[in-house]
């Protein structure tokens, strides 16, 4: 649950227009505080593991989120706040002008993001891993098509025939789901020529 909270926190940081690298500094700082570390890490993952997870989340962040964050900063109202009754903490008033409430990523949305970001960054082994997970929960043809593309790429790089077999299985499943898609029929022809 702590890793999920870290992931959502980083997503919010990026979408709000802030640098996610500051979160890494915070994790390092918390790790340096010996007394806090003894208390905190009884119930929270060790900071090295959290750091690795945070770096992975930053790597796989949607490339459109920083632009969304800049837009959000430029188009949001300043939240009014006041001292609470204890005169120590503050109370932040709710912004009633918000029209779209925050929604957590669904598992399908998260896997889709991880798969496509991996694919666009040329990390085909991870793309295959995430597209395979996506095909387990989605009945859309697109993950199968991209799974075929990624496996074809790995075959061309390694000449390992198991990748070619996986590419064929994936494209056949995509074809079964959508026989009229030209990208699918082009991929079938491409694989047949290998």
pLDDT digits (tens, 9 = 90+) for 91-136: 777 666 666 666 778 889 889 999 999 999 999 999 999 999 999 9
For the chain, the structural domain boundaries read: 2-66, 107-192
The CATH number assigned to the domain with range 107-192 reads 1.25.40.10
DSSP string, the chain: -HHHHHHHHHHHHHHTT--THHHHHHHHHHHH-HHHHHHHTTTS--HHHHHHHHHHHHHTS-TTHHHHHHHHHHT-PPPPEEE-TTSSSEEEPP-TT--S---PPPHHHHHHHHHHHHHHTT-HHHHHHHHHHHHHH---SHHHHHHHHHHHHHHHHH--HHHHHHHHHHHHHHHHH-TT-HHHHHHHHHHHT-
Say whether pTM exceeds 0.75: no
Residue 47: is its pLDDT beyond 90? no
Q: Provide mean pLDDT across the span 149-173.
A: 97
């Amino acid at each position: 649950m702590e890793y999920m909270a870290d992931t959502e926190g980083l997503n919010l940081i990026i979408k709000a227009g802030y640098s996610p690298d500051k979160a890494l500094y915070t994790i390092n700082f918390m790790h340096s505080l010996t007394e806090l570390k003894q208390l905190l890490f009884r119930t929270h993952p060790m900071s090295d593991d959290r750091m690795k997870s945070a770096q992975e989340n930053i790597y796989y962040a949607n490339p459109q989120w920083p632009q969304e964050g800049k837009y959000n900063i430029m188009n949001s109202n300043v939240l009014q706040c006041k001292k609470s009754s204890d005169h120590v903490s503050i109370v932040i008033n709710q912004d009633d002008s918000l029209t779209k409430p925050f929604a957590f990523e669904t598992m399908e949305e998260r896997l889709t993001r991880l798969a496509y970001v991996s694919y666009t960054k040329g990390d085909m082994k991870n793309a295959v891993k995430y597209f395979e997970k996506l095909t387990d929960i989605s009945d859309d043809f697109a993950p199968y098509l991209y799974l075929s593309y990624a496996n074809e790429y790995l075959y061309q790089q390694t000449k390992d025939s198991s990748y070619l077999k996986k590419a064929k299985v994936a494209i056949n499943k995509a074809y079964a789901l959508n026989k009229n898609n030209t990208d699918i029929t082009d991929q079938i022809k491409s694989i047949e020529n290998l």
